């Protein structure tokens, strides 16, 4: 295959505003694309494994352009995006905490 243009896809990846944050010793990577509307709703786009935020590369610009959403699309914790991968135990803790949070939600949701 000689027609694959890596530089085209690299430019597409780099067209998004990307950030990293360290929380509890885990390097987290995310895309944050706020729209111009200050009253827009934050929208969290989550992907599965294996995968990446790039699954949303066509959707992110459309949602942002609508003026209705500020987009946040995190990478899975521990996935290497220029940082140190999280230890497996830390990832398991993140999963357990997320499960605990969802199971402690009040019946009928939150007000």
**Confidence check: pLDDT of 22 > 90:** no
**pLDDT reported for residue 109:** 44
Contacts of 9 (CB under 8 A, 6+ apart): none
**Confidence check: pLDDT of 51 > 90:** no
Q: What is the pTM of this model?
A: 0.66
Q: Running DSSP on this structure, what letter comes out for residue 87?
A: P
């Amino acid at each position: 295959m000689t027609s694959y243009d890596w530089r085209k896809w690299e430019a597409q990846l780099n067209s998004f505003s990307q950030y990293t944050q360290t929380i509890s010793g885990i390097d987290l990577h995310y895309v944050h694309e706020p729209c111009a509307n200050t009253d827009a709703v934050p929208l969290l786009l989550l992907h599965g494994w294996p995968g990446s935020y790039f699954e949303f590369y066509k959707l992110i610009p459309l949602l942002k352009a609508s003026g209705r959403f500020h987009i946040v699309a995190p990478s899975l914790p521990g996935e290497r995006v220029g940082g140190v991968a999280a230890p497996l135990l830390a990832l398991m803790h993140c999963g357990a905490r997320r499960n605990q949070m969802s199971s402690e939600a009040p019946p009928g949701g939150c007000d």
